[in-house]
A and B are shown apart, each in its own frame.
Chain A
Amino acid sequence: MTTTSHEVKPAKQRGQLGQARLLGLVSRVRELGLLIVLLFIVLIVGIQAPRFLSIDNFVQILLSVAILAIVAVGETLVVLTRNVDLSVGSIVGFTAFVTAYFFKELPQSNLLPGILLGCALGLVLGLLNGVIVSFGRVPSIVATLGTLYAYRGLVFIFASNTTSQVNASDVPTSYLALATTQILGIPALIFIAAVIAIIVGYFLHASQSGRQLYAVGSNPEAASMIGIRADWLVFTAFAAAGLLCGLAGVLWGARFATVDATNATGLELQVIAAVVVGGVNIFGGSGTILGAVLGAIVLGTLENALNILNISQFWLQAIYGAAIIGAVVLDAFITRWLQRAILSGRKKA
């Protein structure tokens, strides 16, 4: 750099400030837009089939979304840092199977050891992802595509050495009750998902590491210049995502009761759809937990609507794919539009 570098700097900083404001604006526009889309779906389907609008059905939707939302919260942490975790479906499948098997073998056991076992297994798998990405310098897409299959292979090895399937009748009712019981009048699944979303959302918004996560994602060079250890943050994000997947796996086993080695296959597509539809920028640096949860709810509502309108479930995967593409296309347009709006506003000033 020559001596002119100090003159260039302020302008560059202003540009980046604009960038940060732009990203913030985009995510706010997105959340509002998502709410409107949600209302729109509810209205249209509600007119077609009034039973869609019952409170009971809304609870059903939230129940079906709860586990997806917990995983989406973890995925958001990873995506914010400009990475992606494709192995979430395999981690959920692994922990669900192991936890269910634990309760099958030890039906007299307390709930807590089983829950801790599932969470710990998820954490370990997440840590492994983090080590490969952060310290092995393997791009997260490659690393987690690899662990998606490697972890699933481990489930099959585990299943071939133990039991091919755990049935609802094999596990104690106390475990199954985890999904059906109510806390403060709210179904436990919904309650747990909401608490996790609020805690992680608050952490992202208010804590230093939370803000650093955004910094790493939106401008890695600048983040490292001000002393943020990006590799540790990315590592922690993967570990946290693994932990949340572990918890989701525990709940998955309780909710679906019958699990085999293939359970939760393909969950990663739903999770990425939820996160991207929720306005979390796949390039990192912008997006909120609220958005990701809203994204999950929109997808869950769509699935429920297909059911109620008697449309074949075969459409579901195509709709998820279309939703991912639609969301990133929309993001691209909103960003361009806002960029132009901000630029023209600046010219006037």
Chain B
Amino acid sequence: MKRLTSLLITWEALLVVLLLVSSVIGAILSPYFMTGFNFYALTSNIMEIAIMALPMTLIIIAGEIDLSVASVLGLSSVVLGLLWERGNPMWLAIGVALLVGLVAGCLNGLLVTKLALPSLVVTIGTLALFRGLAYVVLGDQAVSNFPTVFTDFGFSTIPGTELPWSGLIFVILTVIFAVVLHFSRLGRQLYAIGNSKEAARFSGINVGRVKLVLFILSGVIAALAGVIFTARFSSARPDNAVGFELDVVTVVLLGGVNIFGGRGSLLGVVLAIFIIAVLQNVLGLLNISGDIQSLAIGLLLILSVLGPNLARRIQVVIARRRFAVGRSKQL
């Protein structure tokens, strides 16, 4: 166990180094990197992904996955736009958008827990379903005449700082999630479930209910990300944030969370969020298009699992050799 925590610490140390190195490279490559405005651009660009990564961390630690988050984001954005366009007050539109996320997460959760279906398949299905519904709701239209109060929330910074308002939401949520994951009973239960579902059940954890809560949480947060995304681009379109699930999963796995559950920390995920943000920002400053950036993100996703795998294998080989040497000395 001690060995395991030391491994985790080194992973997070590695992430800190990676973050520093990529920032230094960014500063060398582009004179614009170290400016206040760029810090704003860098953070506000990643905030939807960052916010959705928080519940995703909990879900993956509990041994499940939610691939439908980007589609929930798109659907809630479209619902928000439609309700506003039909003349409803903004608070109502936002409320209903969040409710849509709750219902979507509830559907995922019920299918996974009540019918014991694999979350991977369920959420691939709802990935298509929710995105499809977004198209059904708005077709190829877009809503963009949002009130300035709403778009200001998306564009402007907290007075006196270079931090976007969404950044404040992220900070608050991160604190809440960190407390829940690392200092609460529910957090310990998540690790237990991720390590062994059966053992968790036998020790009196209501596995189904915990997972249902996680999926609902993920849905609501994805809808919140949808509201932020809509405000930031001042546009509700059915194809908003297509493919963001890749970035969210990448961030979580790069943060050192084990894809099979049971291991990981929020600190690692937060570090990974900023690494990805810097990476995207630097590539953007170098005029590399978003489609080609996805090559880098995709590779990073694979490497974030492949790297530790290979490291572990090498460790095993070294340990075996030491064992063999030690034994031959004894003989």
Contact = CB atoms under 8 A, between A and B. Distances in A.
A154 interface: yes
A332 B116 contact: yes
B132 A318 contact: yes
B104 to A, nearest CB: 12
A314 B132 contact: yes
A316 B121 CA distance: 19
Interface stretch (B26-34, B50-58, B176-184, B289-297): B289-297
B139 A312 contact: yes
Contacts of B135: 314-315, 317-318
Interface string B121-162: 110111111111101100110000000000000000000000
B208 interface: no
A152 B121 contact: no
Contacts of A58: none
Given A317-B128, A324-B125, A136 B298 contact: no
B301 A272 contact: no
User: Which DSSP category, helix, strand, loop or mixed, fits chain A's interface?
Assistant: helix
Central interface residue in B130, B136, B249, by most chain A CB within 10 Å:
B136
B118 A146 contact: no
Given A142-B253, A318-B128, A324-B128, A153 B301 contact: no
A316 B133 CA distance: 9
A212 B260 CA distance: 26
A269 to B, nearest CB: 5
Interface string A248-277: 000000000000010000000100110010
A314 to B, nearest CB: 4
Contact of A132 (B129, B132, B136, B302): B302
A328 interface: yes
B49 to A, nearest CB: 14
A328 B111 CA distance: 10
Nearest to B291: A156
Nearest to A314: B135
A148 B130 CA distance: 20
B268 to A, nearest CB: 16
B18 interface: no
A150 B302 contact: yes
B295 A329 contact: no
Interface string A161-185: 0000000000000000000000000
Contact of B129 (A136, A141, A149, A321): A321
A150 B291 CA distance: 9
Interface stretch (B94-102, B186-194, B303-311): B303-311
Interface string B269-310: 000000000000000000001011111111101100110011
Given A145-B249, A316-B132, A321 B127 contact: yes
B126 A321 contact: yes
Interface in B59-95: 65
A320 interface: yes
Interface string A310-349: 0010111111111011001100100000000000000000
A282 interface: yes
A142 B304 CA distance: 10
**What interface size band does chain A fall in?**
35 or more
Nearest to B245: A145
Contacts of A269: 124, 127-128
A328 B118 CA distance: 9
A160 interface: yes
Given A143-B302, A319-B132, A328 B117 contact: yes
Contact of B295 (A142, A145, A157): A157
Given A150-B299, A314-B135, A160 B115 contact: no
Contacts of B132: 314-321
Given A153-B294, A157-B292, A273 B128 contact: yes
B259 interface: yes
B305 A139 contact: yes
Nearest to B309: A137
A153 B298 contact: yes
A137 B309 CA distance: 7
Nearest to A268: B124
Nearest to B118: A282
A66 to B, nearest CB: 22
A319 to B, nearest CB: 7
A283 interface: yes
A119 to B, nearest CB: 23
A141 B133 contact: no
Contact of A156 (B129, B136, B292, B306): B292
A316 B136 CA distance: 9
A147 interface: yes
Contacts of B301: 142, 145-146, 149
B131 A329 contact: no
Nearest to B297: A149
Contacts of B120: 84, 141, 282
Contact of B302 (A147, A152, A276, A283): A147
Central interface residue in A136, A261, A315, by most chain B CB within 10 Å:
A136
Contacts of A137: 309
Contacts of B128: 269, 273, 317-318, 320-321, 324
Interface of B: 65, 111, 115-118, 120-122, 124-133, 135-136, 139-140, 243, 246, 249-250, 253, 259-260, 289, 291-299, 301-302, 305-306, 309-310
6 contacts: A141-B259, A143-B302, A145-B301, A149-B297, A316-B132, A328-B118
Interface of A: 84, 132, 136-139, 141-143, 145-154, 156-157, 160, 261, 269, 272-273, 276, 282-283, 312, 314-322, 324-325, 328-329, 332
Given A136-B310, A142-B302, A269-B124, 9 more contacts: A138-B305, A142-B249, A148-B246, A314-B140, A316-B132, A318-B128, A318-B133, A320-B129, A321-B125
